[in-house]
Structure 1
Amino acid sequence: MKKHFLILFLFITVASFSQSVKTSFSAIAPSEKSEKKLAFQHGEWLKFRLSYSNFLNAGFSTIEVKETKNEGLPAFHITGNGKSTGLVSLFFKVKDDYQTYMYKETLKPYRFIRKIDEGGYTKDQEILFDYSTNEATVKNYKHNTETKHPISSDIQDILSSLYFLRNQNLNNLEVGQEIELQMFFDQEINNFKLHFLGKEVIKTKFGKINTLAFRPMVQAGRVFKEQESLTIWVSDDQNKIPLRIKADLKVGSLRADLDAFKGLAHPFNIIFDN
């Protein structure tokens, strides 16, 4: 699991919402922006429980949304944290901190922070996005370096992608449809593909939930068992929150389940049996 704890969770979660990534939110007319209620809001907090090989508690991750401002413009400050617990923490201690700052109107990031310590593997980076020059400035505080990289005007970071894509329309997906996603991570633009598997009702700790199921295409060999080793279920409602993620790794498997939540912008539709 080295170097792939919270990153693994974030990558596959982000990919699950990417059906409409080619439709820029900035292309929506201003009147539509102001009238449309976002899929999330200030105060949303999600907690996920991670388990290894379906029985060993591996840790927890949380993602929280707060409001802020940048140069007078309304913005969101979103934080993602993960840490190992229990037996896993005894031989592989993890402490991850991801943060993104994104404009409220366009949902584009202007600042990204990544501070991680995963079994002694550490990173301390900050990325500043400049859309006037279409450049990303990567500041590596661990090695005291600063580099600049070309980006597109619609680029997202790994955490902002999740919230940008949660606001796209997933109503017209067809089973088997191939989906593409692009984002800036580790000083380069990363490309992802996944397939829509269809709709499914799954059992959670909260009850039965209508979901959309996806299978991302990942690189087999280093971490994952096969190209199609991941399955993701997201709520089929206006919130579009990830509910369950299963990954078959080279050694064992990793699973993330929604464990707690608060501050959702829309009703969380639970199916109650008669």
Structure 2
Amino acid sequence: MKRSIKTSAILAVSAVSTLIAVGCASSFLKYDKSDEMKKISEFDDRVKIETNEPPEEAATTPTPAAADSGAVKAVATPSPTPAKAAAKPTPPPAPKKEAKKKGAKETAKAVLVSTKHEPELEGQEGFVGRRPIKDPFRAGEKVVHEVSYFSSTAGRLTMSVRPFAQVNGRKSYHFNTAIKTASVFDMFYSVDDYVSAMVDFETLIPSVFTLHVKESGQLREARFLFDWDKKTANYWEKKVTKKDGPEEKKLSFEVPEYSQNIFSAIYYMRVFNWEVGKENSFRVADTAGSGENLIFRGKAIKREKLSTDAGDFNAIKIKPEVQLKNNFKPVGDIFIWLSDDDRKYILRIESKIKIGTLVSEVVSIDPGKDE
């Protein structure tokens, strides 16, 4: 249980934790049917995902913010402005149809839109209905962390916001998280994992995620689908390990309304207002295969200046804990730092383990842009 929550809060730290405990394995696990693992027909039949990915552009160099602002700017070389196409003639206006008069009930129904934020445990501050007053996400955003252990670079964690996707016809955020080990650690254990999580734009609840795991000890493909009409979660997994060979798993379980999954949770933290001494909570469906549901709760413990390779930031330090079976428990010695601004970038994650401390800290930020 503890391991799955670490994954939700710090994908980098949990993944790199395995590097310390395993033996020597200098290359990725090979499997001659790896392409077949990516085909999970039951998921593919139920989910249609349409993405609008732009062509790859030259990377921009972010300019670190001054210590007193906490903001991040990017400097990019402007591209030439393309010539405008000739204006098309304006078609004649279509004849107006007589509008049907609405009855009093219809009018009232159209006007009365709830602005209350649900569920109540998440509070009301900073929301209008399910939407945040200040949306922290921008298409093209990319936050890159260096993950270190005993001051040695263990790998890179990348958290990015892709252009909006359509999931079964609904506009959705497209969050992507990737972890890759550094070459020096590849001698011991190689990791090249990534997950895409789709979150509905209007309701901010996740619909699906796709997980791809490529490591020295295992290959794994997992798919997850929330069926909010039935309040159920569906999980499919195909896995190959050196020890056990190919395995498959399918799981279905009930989930409370407005639950995040363990991969959308790290992004959902950013929609809340964080004030020192106050707590924010939300539900999480433990989609690591156990079928358990829990409540994440984070407490902002202090504001501080944070100096990183990406610059100096005003930051808020948060201590997370989880509630399982009505008992709140700390998630080990883990702390998360968010930028103290409207974007709430994840700047640093720190986790104490049995020997030493794993640290994931920002080295570059591309703020993205409005779509």
Q: TM-score range by the shorter chain?
A: 0.7 to 0.9
In structure 2, the residue matched to 1:52 is 149
Contiguous gaps of at least 5 residues in structure 2:
15-119, 240-246, 323-329
Aligned partner letter, 1:183: V
Higher relative strand content: 1
- Maintained 8 Å contact 2:208/2:223: yes
Cα pair 1:12 1:216 within 8 Å, conserved: no
Distance, in Å, in 1 between the alignment partners of 2:341 and 2:228 is: 32
How far did 1:256 drift?
A: 0.8
Q: Is the 8 A contact 2:122 2:280 kept in 1?
A: no
Residue 65 of structure 1 corresponds to 161
Paired residues of 1:79 and 1:100 also in contact (CA < 8 A): yes
Q: How many residues align?
A: 243
Question: What residue in structure 2 maps to residue 209 of structure 1?
Answer: 313
- Are the structure 2 counterparts of residues 253 and 121 from structure 1 closer, same or farther at C-alpha, using a change threshold of 3 Å? farther
* Per-residue deviation, residues 164-199 of structure 1 (Å, max 9, x unmatched): 3311222xx343x45544312213224444432211
Q: Which amino acid aligns with 1:107?
A: L
Using the TM superposition, give the Cα deviation of residue 68 of structure 1 relative to its aligned residue in structure 2, in angstroms: 1.0
Shift in alpha-carbon separation, 1:9–1:164, aligned structure 2, 3 A: closer
Aligned partner (choices 136, 141, 144) of residue 238 of structure 2: 141
Other-structure match for 2:201: 104
User: What residue is the counterpart of 1:258 in the other structure?
Assistant: 362
Q: 1:231 aligns to what?
A: 335
AA aligned opposite 1:234: L
Which residue pairs with 1:9 in the alignment? 10
Residue 183 (1) aligns with residue 284 (2): yes
Q: Which structure has the bigger radius of gyration?
A: 2
Aligned match for 2:175, one of 52, 63, 78: 78
3-state secondary structure, aligned to 1:159: coil
The aligned counterpart of 1:22 is 122
Q: AA paired with 2:268?
A: F
Deviation at 1:9, TM superposition (A): 2.0
Distance 1:227 1:108 in 2: 23
Give the share of equivalent positions with the same residue, in percent: 23
Q: Offset at 1:119?
A: 4.1
Residue matched to 1:272: none
Given the superposition, is the C-alpha separation of residues 193 and 23 from structure 1 closer, same or farther in structure 2, using an over 3 Å criterion?
closer
Which residue of the partner structure matches residue 263 of structure 2?
A: 159
- Shift in alpha-carbon separation, 1:207–1:47, aligned structure 2, 3 A: closer
Q: In 2, distance between residues paired with 1:117 and 1:188?
A: 25
SS at match of 1:238: coil
> 2: distance between equivalents of 1:94 and 1:21?
37
TM-score, normalization: structure 1? 0.77
Q: Which moved more, 1:40-49 or 1:157-166?
A: 157-166
Name the amino acid aligned to 2:202.
Answer: E
Question: What is aligned with 1:223?
Answer: none
- Per the alignment, in what secondary structure is the counterpart of residue 137 of structure 2? coil
Distance 1:119 1:128 in 2: 28
Aligned AA (1:28): V
CA distance in 1, matches of 2:341, 2:172: 24
Do the aligned residues in 2 keep the contact of 1:138 with 1:147 (CA within 8 Å)? yes
Which residue does 2:210 correspond to in 1? 113
CA RMSD of aligned residues (A): 3.1
- The 1:133/1:23 distance shift into structure 2, 3 A limit, reads farther
Residue identity in the other structure for 2:11: L
Q: Give CA deviations for 1:212-265 in whole Å, capped at 9, x if unaligned.
A: 0122348xxxxxxx9652222110000101111222111222111111121346
Contact 1:245 1:255 survives alignment (8 Å)? yes
Aligned to 2:342, the other structure's residue is in SS state coil
Question: Are residues 195 and 154 of structure 1, via their aligned partners in 2, closer, same or farther at CA, if it must alter by over 3 Å?
Answer: same
- What CA deviation, in whole Å up to 9, does each residue of 1:134-167 have, x standing for no partner? 0001112233332210001111112222333311
